[in-house]
Structures are given as structure tokens and as C-alpha cells.
Chain A
Amino acid sequence: MSSDDTLLKADERHMLDHSILVRHRLEEQYENLEHQYHAATTAMWVFLATEVMFFGAIFLALAVYHHMYTDAFEKGSEKLEWIIGGTNTIVLLLSSFTIVLAVHYSKLGANKQTAWFLATTAALGLLFLVFKGIEYYLDYKEFLIPGWRFNPQEWVDKEHLSPDQVPHVQLFLVFYWVMTLIHALHVTLGIVAVLIVMTLAFRRHFSPVYYTPVEVLALYWHFVDIVWIFLLPMLYLQGTHTHIGF
């Protein structure tokens, strides 16, 4: 409970520590709620460090192959729906904003506002997935699914790639699919978690001394957004996109 010193005086906090409310929220292995809060946030930060390594590995692989097959990768990148990708960036940034507000209101003990902002966050997350789904459908229509729905000849005829470069386009598309699918999985799990915490908030679960789940959840959500911020340029903006006309 680091940042809400202004909200409660020391003796008030001491009183709360001993209230029934607190004892219900406190897991038995911890001394007090503050202890529990620090352990929980540390755990999430450490978990995010492992996530950095997880995504880092595939970003590294993508960077290596982009260096090796620059032309093909940029040609492949041009075909992606950068407008949807860009819109989705805005959607996720908005959702990061709303979850910050949820954290803010949970610290005040305003459970209703917390719940509604969490609902907005979940809705924005869903919107992201819907857009992503539309994008996947467009990719399907445009034969951008490597190994399954892909037209090598088209890349030779229309994009003037040589036949030996076409597998490299597929390689790029594999990275696109794997990375966005793993990211979408993270978003989906995030939405489920947001909905659970939202239900708790509707049940007036949080108070100025206990908002750890909201805070931890927000950390995770921000991380998922940040991954997207890296995915956008690495995948969508590699190509020159000269055909767009500006």
C-alpha cells in the first residue's frame, strides 16, 4: 500500500488491519495486507520478466530473418492490414487508460466505478479481438495463411519476387500468425481475468486497504499492450506501404 498514504492515517490503517474485512482478504501465510500486496506485485513483475524473455526469443528470430530476407519480409509486411493493426493499437491504449482509472477508483474503495471501468476495459479487449478476427478473415480471403491457404505464384507474378524468395514470405507470415495468435491468447486470458475481478468489484470486494488484484491485473494488462506496441512496427510497418498513396 505505497501510494495511498494520504487516504488513511496510520491509526486508521491499524484499525482496518484488524477488521473482519481485512482478515477475510488476508491469506494466512502473510503478516498483513501490505505484506501480501508487496508479494503479489513482486510476483507479477517477475512473471512479466519471464514474458519478456518469451516474446524476446521470437522477436529475436524475427529480427534475424528480417535481416536475412529483407525484401521478402517487407513485401509480406505490406500485405498486412495496417489500418486494422493501427486501430487496434488505439483500442489497446484506450483500454490501458480505462484500467488505470479502475485501479484509481479501487484505491478509493469506489467499487462501482472500479467495476464499470473494468467492464469498459474488457469491452475494449473484446473489440480488439473482434478487429483481430476481421483481420484474420481478410488474411484468409487474401491467401495469407502460410502452408494452408497461400498462393506462391501470385507473389511471383504480382509482387515480382523470385520463386526462391516466396518461402521467405511464408516464413514472415508464420511469424505474423504465431506472434499475433500468442498475443491474442494473452489478451483473451486478460479479458477473463478482468471479468473475474470485475465481478469481485460488483460485490464490493475492494477497499482502500485491499485492491491488490486490480493492481496486479493492471500490470499484466499494460504488459500485453506494450507487446502490441512492439508487434505493430515489427510486423505491420516493415513494408514501405507505397501503394497506400501518401
Chain B
Amino acid sequence: MPSVAIFPAAASTNAHSVDQLLLFLVVVCGSVGLLVAFLLIYFSIKYRRRPGQVAPPPETHSSHKLEWSWTIAPAFVFVVMFIWGAHVYIDAYHAPDDSTVIYGIGKQWMWKFQHPEGQREIDALHVPVGGSVRLLLTSEDVIHSFFVPAFRIHMDVLPQRFTSLWFQASKPGEYHLFCSQYCGTGHASMIGTVVALEPADYRRWLQSSAEGSLALQGRKVFLKYRCISCHSANENARAPVLEGLYNQPVPLRDGRTVIADENYIRESILNPAAKVVAGYDPIMPTFQGVISAEDLMAVIEFIRTLKPNETPPRVESFPPPVNPPDGDPQKLPFGAVPDTDNSKSDNTNAGNSKSNNIEHPR
């Protein structure tokens, strides 16, 4: 006999605030609904037509006072609902600054996740109890929606851009992860599991399946695609310095200013001409169709976490090419093999405290 869903498990901080809101709404709306139902039934019985009654009932005049009062009274109740609801909503989408960032990809019909420590999961997501987790979500094909009922949280997952949400699991356990935006034949089987683990278990889990930090993988990607030949730490290079860029305002050539969030970084890799930084030429080739979704996540994570003095050193001994690179990054002049880095790379890792904690098992 399968269990019966009566009330969903509440396993995140957000779940508790949504449940309180539910309680409030049920009480308020329920009493209004009961009042209307009571009046309907009461009037129907009290004023039912009796046999032999021929004369029409006397006219009742509408009272404007009454009309206005039941126009304005609901409006006041609505204001309370609106404010409370807005409060919960803003909380649910405004992540604390110290959240762990996990990348998620929706794809017909599976969920893929990448942890900052480098673990990859399919249709499962391990999170620590008590730690706030911020998910950066994107889709490889159509629109999906990330929905964990036990966390009372929901976010559409769109292709070609990041949407984000956060939660803090409050109770260990396994919870359903649904896709709630219709996405094709396998929509109903696009179900994953969110596993909330006690911090100690979570650390154990991390270590058992670590592959090296996501930022570290991103660093390799950064070097593999020769990003370093322009985006060096040199202020006078042909491309902007990326250190400490994340979430900073960036002045653009056309006079606008944008915040360098995930979506901006992503767009600048796939569609570099869209928002060119002031003082630079639009010479960067597009990486649309060149870089895989996973590599893209990794390199974004690398740029996102890049702190001052962490840019890998350029290892070419010759000056940078004068001509702008053509569209294919594979044809760029090749220097020393970047993956076998010099000693400075250790410093880079030291900057990334999370990856430093992980022993690489392989």
C-alpha cells in the first residue's frame, strides 16, 4: 500500500514561510467562503417561496454604504495578502551572499547538476542541511521548470540564459524534483531526487565522488580555449581583466552600464558583440556552438570565483598576435601547453578555499 500524500513534507526554511502563508490564506479565504456559503443556504431556506405566496416581496433598496464597504474591505485584506506574499517571494529569490552555487541544466528529459567541488550528478542533487544553496539553472533545449515541492520552490529553466533560486534545506531526506513546465513526451518522467544530507554526511558524499573543483575545471577550459591570450591580468591587454569582475558594474561602449552577473558573463562568451566593455574593440570570437554546456558552466564558475592575482599567467614568450583572431578559436596560435602549468597555479588553487579542502581521489 503506497503512502498517501496528505500534506507535503516541509524540508526547507522557505517551506515553513510558505506554509504559514497558506495557513493565513486558508483561514481568511475559508471564512469568507464559508460566510458566502452560509448566507446562500440561509437565505435560500429562510426566504424560500411558500405555497400560496402570490404577491411579490417588497423592494429592498440598495445601500451605497454597504456597497462601498464590501468594495473597500476586501481591498484592505488584499493589501495584507500582497505584502505578505511579496515578502516571501523576495526572500525566496534573493539568495544570501554566502550561498554555495550549484549549476543545473535541464534537458529533455533529465536534470544535470554540477557542484562547485566538481561533482556531477544526473537526476539527483545532494545538498547539505542548514547550508544555503543557490542554483543557477539553464536549459539545453526547451523551457523546463525546477520544482521541489518539499522546498516549496519553483523556477522556470530557460534556454540561453540563467535563472536562479535558492533554498536552505532544513530536514534530511529524499525529496521529489519535478519538471513542471511541459517539455514533451517524457515530461512526466523528468523527475529527479533531491537528497538533503546532514553536513557531515554531505562532506563524506562530496569526498566520495569528487572530481576536482568546478572552478578548477573551468580554469582548464579557460586555458584550453586560449582565453588567456587576451584576458590576461595585464591592464593594457586587448581584453578586460576578469579578476574580481563578478557582480561589479561594467561600463559598456554604448554608454550603458551592466552588472556582470552570470547572464552577462554567459552572453559575453556566446555573443561577445552584444555588450562590449568600454575602451575595448569587439574582437572576441563567438563560442556559440564551440563550447559544450558543461564546459561553459565550468568556465563561468571559474570567472565568477576569480579573485585578484588568480589569473593564470600567460606562458607564451612571443607577443600577442596583432590581428584579431578569426572566428575559430581552434586556429589560434598555440603556445606552451597550458594544462601543465607552472608553480603559480598552486597559488590559484590556494585562493579557492573550497577546492583546496578536497583531496582528489584519482
Partner of B270, one of A71, A156, A164: A164
The interface residues of chain A lying within 8 Å CB-to-CB of B270 are 164
The interface residues of chain A lying within 8 Å CB-to-CB of B288 are 163-164
| Nearest A residue (CB) for B254 | A70
Q: How far is the CB of A132 from chain B (nearest CB, A)?
A: 33
Partner of A163, one of B274, B282, B286: B286
Main secondary structure of the interface of B (DSSP, over half): loop
How many A-B pairs have beta carbons closer than 8 Å: the answer is: 23
- Interface size class on chain B is 10 to 19
Q: For window 49-78 of chain A, which residues contact chain B by CB distance below 8 Å?
A: 69, 71
Q: For window 284-331 of chain B, which residues contact chain A by CB distance below 8 Å?
A: 285-286, 288, 327
Does residue B272 face the partner (Cβ distance < 8 Å to A)?
yes
| Nearest B residue (CB) for A71 | B273
Q: What separation, in Å, do the CA atoms of A163 and B274 have in the docked complex? A: 12
Does residue A165 face the partner (Cβ distance < 8 Å to B)?
yes
The interface residues of chain B lying within 8 Å CB-to-CB of A156 are 327
Q: How far is the CB of B133 from chain A (nearest CB, A)?
A: 32
Does residue A240 face the partner (Cβ distance < 8 Å to B)?
no
Q: For window 154-212 of chain A, which residues contact chain B by CB distance below 8 Å?
A: 156, 161-165
Q: What separation, in Å, do the CA atoms of A161 and B273 have in the docked complex? A: 9
Does residue B181 face the partner (Cβ distance < 8 Å to A)?
no
Q: What separation, in Å, do the CA atoms of A156 and B324 have in the docked complex? A: 14
Does residue B356 face the partner (Cβ distance < 8 Å to A)?
no
The interface residues of chain A lying within 8 Å CB-to-CB of B272 are 162, 164
Q: Mark A69-96, 1 if CB is under 8 A from B, else 0.
A: 1010000000000000000000000000
23 interchain pairs, CB-CB under 8 A: A69-B274, A71-B273, A156-B327, A161-B273, A162-B272, A162-B273, A162-B282, A162-B285, A162-B286, A162-B327, A163-B285, A163-B286, A163-B288, A163-B327, A164-B270, A164-B271, A164-B272, A164-B273, A164-B274, A164-B286, A164-B288, A165-B271, A165-B273
Known pairs A162-B273, A164-B286 / 7 extra A-B pairs, C-beta < 8 Å: A69-B274, A162-B272, A162-B282, A162-B286, A163-B285, A164-B271, A164-B272
Instruction: Give chain A's interface residues, CB within 8 Å of chain B.
Output: 69, 71, 156, 161-165
